[in-house]
Structure 1
Amino acid sequence: MGQEPVDASRESTTVPAREEASRRSRWRDAIPSDRLTQFGVAVVLALLMLAVFGPFVSPYDPVEQDLQHQLEAPSVEHPLGTDQLGRDVLTRLLHGARLSLGVAAAVTAVRLVVGTAVGLVAGYAGGWVDEALMRLVDTLLAFPGIILALVIAGVLGPSLVNVMLALAVVGWASYARLVRSSVLSLREREFVTAARLLGRSRMHVVTRHLIPNVVAPVVVLATLDIGGVILGTAGLSFLGLGAQPPTPEWGTMLASGRNYLREAWWLVNAPGVLIMLTVFGFNLLGDSLRDALSPTQSAQLEQL
C-alpha cells in the first residue's frame, strides 16, 4: 500500500493557526498580576495621564518668568516650589513629561523600525547580505552607546532634534541582532517550509509568518528601551547638548538647578525623582512582558 500523501496546504494553514493561538495566549498572559509589576504599570499610566492632561490643568506658564517669586519653597500655591526665575516647577515638570515621553517614543519607534527591517533582511537573506549587515551591527555595538551618542550630538550641535537623531543611530543595532536571531530560528520551522513548498513569495513568508512571530520580543525590548532613551536624553540635555533653555526638559531642569542645590533642593530633587520613577516603571513593565511572552528565555536568564 502506498503512503498517503501529505496535504501541504492543510499543513500550512493548520500550523500557522496554532502559532496564532499561541501568540494570543501569550499576550493575554502578559496582563500583570504581581504587585510590583502593577506598581510599574500604575506609574507608567500616571505619567502618561500627566503628560497628556497635566499642562491643561496647571494655571502657570512653563516659560514665563516671575522674578518676584524666585526660589520659593514648596507651598499650596506652588506644590514643588519655584525656580531661580520664579517659574512654577510642577508646571515645568508636567510639560517636560510630555516632551520627554514624546522624544522617547519617537526615538524608540525609529530604532524599532530600522532594527527590525535590518534584522529581517539579514536573517532571511543570509549569505553576504547577512555578513555585511551584522558586521555593521557589531561595529555599532562595539562602542558604548551614550559615548557614541555624545560624539554625534556634539558634532551636529546642541539641539533636541540632534540628540534624538544621535540616540536613534546608536540604538537600532540591538533590535537588528534580536530580530535576526529570531528569524534564523523561525525560517527552519515547519510552517515556513510548508509556505515555501507552496510557492509563496518571500514577501508573503516575511509578512505572514516571520513578522508576527518576532513582535513579542521586539515589544519587550522596546518597552525596556524607553527608560534608557529617557536617561540618555536627560543626560545629554544635562551636558548642554539637548534641549536648550527655557525649554522645560527634565535634563535641562537638572542642569539649571544644580547651582542652587543648597538653598533650593527641590530644583534638582523633583526632576531627578521623576526620571527615576519613569525609568523604574518602564523597566518593571518590560520585565513583566518578558516573563509573560518569553517564559523560556526568562527561565534561562534567571539561571545565569
Structure 2
Amino acid sequence: MSGPAADTGVRQESDQRDEWTEVIPADRLAQVGLGIVFILLVLAVFGPIVSPYDPATQDLSSRLEAPSLTHPLGTDQLGRDVLTRLLHGARLSLGIALAVTSVRLVVGTAVGLVAGYAGGWIDEALMRLVDTLLAFPGIVLALVIAGILGPSLVNVMLALSVVGWASYARLVRSSVLSVREREFVTVARLLGHTRTHVTARHLIPNVVAPVVVLATLDIGGVILGTAGLSFLGLGAQPPTPEWGTMLASGRTYLRQAWWLVNAPGVCIMFTVFGFNLLGDSLRDTLSPTQSAQMEQL
C-alpha cells in the first residue's frame, strides 16, 4: 500500500509511539512513580537473594530487637529479620498482583470485545452480568468469596480476580463501540475479512492503550486488597512473609515494637503510590474521551 493514505497511517503510528515514549521523561510525577516501581522490582528480585537471613527461621534470643546494623529494620516477636521478610513479601505481593491483574485483563478484555462487537442479546446478557458485579463494592465481594472458600493466598487471588474483571469489560466494550463503526472497520468487513481478523487487526490495537493504563492502576489496588484480606486472616497464613500478615501479627506489639507495623505499612503505601502515579501519568496522555471513560470506572 502506498500514497497519501499510507503516509497518513505511518504518521499516526509514529505520533502514537512518540506519545508513549515521551510521557515518562516529560512528567515529573511519572518519573517518581517509575522510580518507585523500579526500586521495588529490584528489591523484590535481588533482595531475597542477597539477604543473609531466612524469612522463616526463628531466633527467640533476638526477639523484638530494635533496628540496628545487624538488623536494619529490627526483628519481630519470633526473632526473624523484618527487612528479610519485607523483601520476600515484596516478591510475593508483586507476583500476586501481576497474576491477578493478568487474569482480570484477559477475561475482561475478552468479554468486552465479544459484547461490543457482537451486540444484540449477547451484549445485553454480558453487560447485565458486568453491572451486577459492579453493583457490589469489590473488597466486600472479595471478602465474601474468600470467606466462603477458606483462608489461603490462592483463594484470595481467585476472589480478587472474580471481582475485578468487570471494569476491563466495560472499558473495552465502550472502546469497541466507538471503533467498530469507523471507516477502516467497515472497509475490512466489505472486503470479506472474518470477525477474527477484524478483531485482531483493528479492534484490539485500539483498546490496548486504555487497558494498559487501567492495569497499571489496578496493580496497586490488588496489592492493597491482598494485604487487607491477609490482615483479616483470609489470605496468607503464618509464617508466610506477606505484608498484610506482617501488619496483623505486628499490631499486638505496636507500643513496644513500632517497626513491626510501620515497615510493612510504609512498603504498601509507597508501592500503591508508585503504581498510581505511573498509571495517572499514562492516563493523562490519552484522549479526553478515554480519560473520561476511565474516570467513570
Task: Give the equivalent residue in structure 2 for 1:71.
Answer: 64
SS of 2:208's equivalent in the other structure is: helix
Q: 1:286: how far off?
A: 0.1
2:232 to 215, 233, 239: 239
| Conserved 8 A contact 1:230-1:279 | yes
Task: Give the equivalent residue in structure 2 for 1:101.
Answer: 94
| Conserved 8 A contact 1:68-1:86 | yes
Q: 1:300: how far off?
A: 9.2
Q: 1:26: how far off?
A: 2.6
| Conserved 8 A contact 1:32-1:288 | no
Report the identity percentage: 81
Task: Give the equivalent residue in structure 2 for 1:154.
Answer: 147
- Partner Cα distance (1:195, 1:15) in 2: 18
Deviations 1:123-143 (A, max 9, x none): 000000000000000000000
Q: 1:117: how far off?
A: 0.1
Task: Give the equivalent residue in structure 2 for 1:130.
Answer: 123
Letter in 2 for 1:58: S
Does 1:292 find its partner at 2:279?
no
- Partner Cα distance (1:300, 1:191) in 2: 23
Task: Give the equivalent residue in structure 1 for 2:135.
Answer: 142
Letter in 1 for 2:29: L
Q: 1:11: how far off?
A: 9.4
Task: Give the equivalent residue in structure 2 for 1:4.
Answer: none
Letter in 1 for 2:117: Y
- Partner Cα distance (1:274, 1:55) in 2: 16
Q: 1:40: how far off?
A: 1.1
Are the structure 2 counterparts of residues 43 and 77 from structure 1 closer, same or farther at C-alpha, using a change threshold of 3 Å?
same
- Partner Cα distance (1:176, 1:12) in 2: 32
Task: Give the equivalent residue in structure 2 for 1:3.
Answer: none
1:54 to 31, 35, 47: 47
Q: Please, what TM-score do these two structures have when normalized by structure 1?
A: 0.92
- Partner Cα distance (1:192, 1:59) in 2: 58
Q: 1:22: how far off?
A: 4.1
Deviations 1:47-98 (A, max 9, x none): 0000000001110000000000000000000000000000000000000000
- Partner Cα distance (1:165, 1:301) in 2: 24
Q: 1:14: how far off?
A: 6.9
Q: 1:10: how far off?
A: 8.2
Q: Identify unmatched segments of 5+ residues in structure 1.
A: 1-6
Q: 1:194: how far off?
A: 1.1
For these two proteins, the number of residue pairs brought into alignment is 295
Deviations 1:5-26 (A, max 9, x none): xx9x989867755553443233
| Conserved 8 A contact 1:12-1:195 | no
SS of 2:26's equivalent in the other structure is: coil
Instruction: Determine which structure has more spread, i.e. the larger CA radius of gyration.
Output: 1
2:206 to 206, 213, 235: 213
Are the structure 2 counterparts of residues 23 and 229 from structure 1 closer, same or farther at C-alpha, using a change threshold of 3 Å?
same
- Partner Cα distance (2:87, 2:81) in 1: 10
Letter in 1 for 2:263: A
Letter in 2 for 1:247: T
- Partner Cα distance (2:294, 2:149) in 1: 39
2:268 to 272, 275, 281: 275
1:28 to 5, 16, 21: 21
- Partner Cα distance (1:47, 1:88) in 2: 19
Deviations 1:200-243 (A, max 9, x none): 11100000000011000000000000000000000000000000
Are the structure 2 counterparts of residues 195 and 11 from structure 1 closer, same or farther at C-alpha, using a change threshold of 3 Å?
farther
RMSD value, Cα: 2.1
- Partner Cα distance (2:243, 2:258) in 1: 15
SS of 1:71's equivalent in the other structure is: coil
Q: Identify unmatched segments of 5+ residues in structure 2.
A: none
Letter in 1 for 2:206: N
Q: 1:27: how far off?
A: 1.9
